[in-house]
Chain A
Amino acid sequence: MARFVMEFERPLADLEEKLAALANLDIASTPQLAAEIAELEREVERLRATLYSTLSPWEKVQVSRHPDRPKTVDYVAYLFDDVVELRGDRRFADDQAMYTALATLGGRRVVVIGHNKGHTTKENVARNFGSPHPEGFRKAERAMRLADRFGLPIVTFLDTAGASPGLEDEERGQAWAIADCLATLSAVRVPVVVVGIGEGGSGGALAIGFGDRLIMLEHAYYSVISPEMCALILHKDAARAPESAAALALTAEDLLRMGIADEVVPEPLGGAHREPETVAGEVGVRIATALDALSEEDSDGLLERRYERLRAIGEYNETD
């Protein structure tokens, strides 16, 4: 199967191809080949370092969508034990685009809620590419209520391009399902730790995307609208998405600056998919630290602070 190559990594991919071709040659018969390979390898690393030290917002969006990037279920597999997956919304269906489970992180019993993207096309078709239907949000809300009733902290993983915009999604109340998640999540009497691992697309991400801590991976994004859709509206041209991505202030760093995110988890050169276990390990440490700090607070204080946190977001001038 052909490797997935991001647009901006094309020069890197070309070098790596050359390198692979050289490696297939008989080194013993051409002594200078080894030196050439070593030089090329150094060049690849230099180029990668250069590319990743200056990633544009649009390039980060591409990294966040990389098919090899660790997904919700990968973090669950790396970090959690005793997993009991919670399936279905008890009203209509089990939406594969949303993952919910009882799980244990280093002895901490929690409820996990995450957008469920796959790595392969087959997985993604079954999971609607991680874009939940109303029943997916109702499944998430069911998990939130369960967490609330039994005092289990909630850990969410954001990775969606957005809520599914189909005919039946509308007819079954997509807006209602999302709004109910927002209302419920604002009022659960347990700590809520949110991790942006990939895409944070609009209302579909927000439905499980706010709480007491927001941890963002370095190349994850979170945005009010996709850069492509924004470009379509502003310029009637989706190809101008790079400009829109920059204008929307959607990177982890932007969110940290605006006081929406609390911390950013650095990614290895080339993105989280190059060292998924290392990244997952670090994410696990950050979640555990946040959970431990939040568990010190009583639930009234927790709720009050969550509300104040939300109310503090917004920029305007007030005159009287």
Chain B
Amino acid sequence: MPINDWFKQREGRRYTVSTGSGTESLPDGVWRTCPECKRTLYQGEVERSLSVCPHCDHHFELIARDRIDALVDPGSFAEIDAGLVSSDPLRFSAGKPYASSLERACQTTGMDDAALTGTATIDGHPVVVGALDFRFIGASMGSVVGERIARAFERARTEQRGVVMIVASGGARMQEGMLSLMQMAQTAAAAERLSRAGLPYVSMLVNPTYGGVTASFAVLADVIFAEPGAMIGFAGPRLVEQTIRRSLPKGFQTAASLQSHGMIDEVVPRGESRSRVATVLGYLMPADRAVPAGADDTPALLPEGGEA
């Protein structure tokens, strides 16, 4: 199971938390080690490069709010559908009680669940943007995440906006049982409605994206991007390895391998994601909602009064 694999792999790892997000900011001046090239980095230096290692291009994890801020026009984000909290519908207490996991996740993240959604613009294009935060119970999808994602697609449809989702997830949230599994169908149905309304949807898959979230709204986008080094799949690597009873090929389930298998459109470095997403929106947004290409600084190709 993906969640299991990922929780295991994550033991002992730290999250990157940038200043300015209003949550648990690390003091500027902390030194940290890049897990990829093992070099010691100055925290301030990491943040200035969008949390990408300047030496080896390793993409550190980001909290949801920072991911959104890195993608949308400055100051354009307005959160929607705040105030939804899980009701622990199954009173799930096997292993670690769900209620206490929720409480802890709320405390450490300052969020009420793993999904953050809102309206924003990207290079002027009106969008509904969403991001999942892996710190919140592995960014697993339960009732609240499913509801927020579905509402995000619905709002985009009503307000004629595009949708951009930055996705990381361990999969469905098993502590909500079937209610959680059904969120896959719910979010897929909402994405399908947006698609039929002729509005674009771009997803950015980041490390790690697995299970029921991959197999629903995450991959139903019109254009799918992924961050360098992101691990993406349905079954977690350990389960696959146990199934085939031999070791996995190098690069299995990495963003680069998915691109070569035709599953995603492009591996996009974090520093370029805003401009790549904006370019795609420029192509796919309906004519009456699109920002004309080069509206700001390029002279129009047609003479004044010509048909555009």
Most buried by A among B87, B174, B214, B233: B174
Contact across chains for B84 and A249 when beta carbons are under 8 A apart: no
Q: Complex Cα distance A247/B176, Å?
A: 10
B:141-160 near A, CB below 8 Å: 143-144, 146-147, 150
Chain B residue, CB-CB nearest to A306? B189
Q: Judging by beta carbons under 8 Å apart, are B240 and A249 in contact?
A: no
User: Are B185 and A182 in touch, CB under 8 angstroms?
Assistant: yes
Q: Which residues of B contact A246 (CB under 8 A)?
A: 94
| A235 and B1 contacting across the interface, CB-CB below 8 Å | no
Residues of chain A with a CB closer than 8 A to B143's CB: 314-316
9-residue interface stretch from A28-36, A40-48, A173-181: A173-181
Q: Is the CB of B177 within 8 A of A320?
A: no
Interface string of B65-87 (1 = CB under 8 A from A): 00000000000000000111111
Residues of chain B contacted by A180 (CB below 8 angstroms): 220
Chain B, 1-24, CB within 8 A of any chain A CB: 1, 3-4
State how many angstroms separate the Cβ of A32 from the closest Cβ of chain B: 51
* Chain A interfacial residues counted at CB < 8 A: 59
Within 96-148 of A, Cβ neighbours of B (below 8 Å) are at: none
Nearest CB in chain B: distance from A180 CB, A:
8
Contact residues in B for A19 (Cβ distance below 8 Å): none
Which of B4, B150, B172, B215 is within 8 Å of A179, CB to CB? B215
The winner among B173, B189, B240 for most chain A CB atoms within 10 A is B189
Work out how many contacts link A and B, with CB atoms closer than 8 A: 200
Number of interface residues of B (CB under 8 A): 66
Q: Which of A203, A260, A307 contacts B189 (CB 8 A)?
A: A307
Contact among B150, B214, B220, B235 for A165, CB-based, below 8 A: B235
Contact B239 A250 (CB under 8 A): no
B95 CB contacts on chain A under 8 angstroms: 233-235
Verify if A3 is at the interface (C-beta below 8 Å from B): no
Known A203-B211, A234-B95: A183·B178 in contact at CB below 8 Å: no
Instruction: Give 1 or 0 for each of B44-70: 1 = CB within 8 Å of chain A CB.
Output: 000000000000000000000000000
Which chain B residues in 252-287 approach chain A with CB under 8 Å?
252-253, 257, 261-263
Q: Are A179 and B177 in touch, CB under 8 angstroms?
A: no
In the complex, the answer to whether B239 meets A175 with C-beta atoms within 8 Å is: no
Distance in angstroms from A229 CB to nearest chain B CB is 5
Q: Is the CB of A170 within 8 A of B233?
A: yes
CB-defined contacts of B234 to chain A, threshold 8 Å: 163, 165, 169-170, 174-175, 178, 203
Main secondary structure of the interface of A (DSSP, over half): helix
- Whether the Cβ atoms of A210 and B90 lie closer than 8 Å is no
A232 within 8 A of B: yes
Taking a contact as CB atoms under 8 Å apart, the answer to whether A186 and B83 are in contact is no
Partner of B87, one of A225, A233, A313, A316: A316
Counting CB contacts under 8 A, is B119 at the interface?
Answer: no
Given that A315-B143, A318-B83, A319-B85 are contacting pairs, would A179 and B220 also be in contact in the complex, using a CB cutoff of 8 Å?
yes
Residue of B nearest to A209 (CB): B185
In the bound complex, what is the Cα–Cα distance between A258 and B159 (angstroms)? 32
In the complex, are the beta carbons of B172 and A170 less than 8 A apart? no
Within the complex, the shortest CB–CB distance from A182 to chain B, in Å, comes to: 4
Interface: B109 (CB within 8 A): no
Contact A203 B212 (CB under 8 A): yes
CB–CB B178/A310 < 8 A: no
Query: Known: A166-B240, A183-B189. Is A260-B147 also a contact (CB below 8 A)?
Result: no
1/0 per residue, CB under 8 A from B, across A252-270: the answer is: 0011001010000000000
Judge if B244 is at the interface, Cβ distance under 8 Å.
yes
Contacts of A206 in B (CB 8 A): 181-182, 184-185
Closest to A243 in B: B94
In the complex, what residue of chain A is closest to B173 when comparing beta carbons? A224
CB distance from B80 to the nearest CB of A (A): 12
Q: Are B193 and A179 in contact (CB under 8 A)?
A: no
Residues of B close to A248: CB separation below 8 A = 90, 174, 177-178
B177 lies within 8 A of A183 (CB): no
Among B184, B217, B261: residue with most chain A CB under 10 A: B184
Q: List 12 A-B contacts (CB under 8 A).
A: A170-B234, A176-B219, A182-B215, A183-B191, A203-B212, A223-B181, A233-B174, A234-B94, A247-B94, A310-B186, A310-B189, A314-B183
Supplied contacts A169-B234, A170-B235, A248-B90, 8 more A-B pairs, CB within 8 Å: A173-B219, A174-B233, A183-B188, A183-B191, A187-B193, A248-B174, A316-B144, A317-B87
Closest 10 CB pairs of A and B: A234-B95, A165-B235, A186-B189, A182-B188, A314-B143, A315-B89, A247-B94, A175-B214, A175-B234, A175-B215
Residues in chain A within 8 A of chain B (CB atoms): 163-167, 169-176, 178-180, 182-187, 202-203, 206, 210, 222-225, 229-230, 232-235, 243-244, 246-250, 254-255, 258, 260, 306-307, 310-311, 313-320
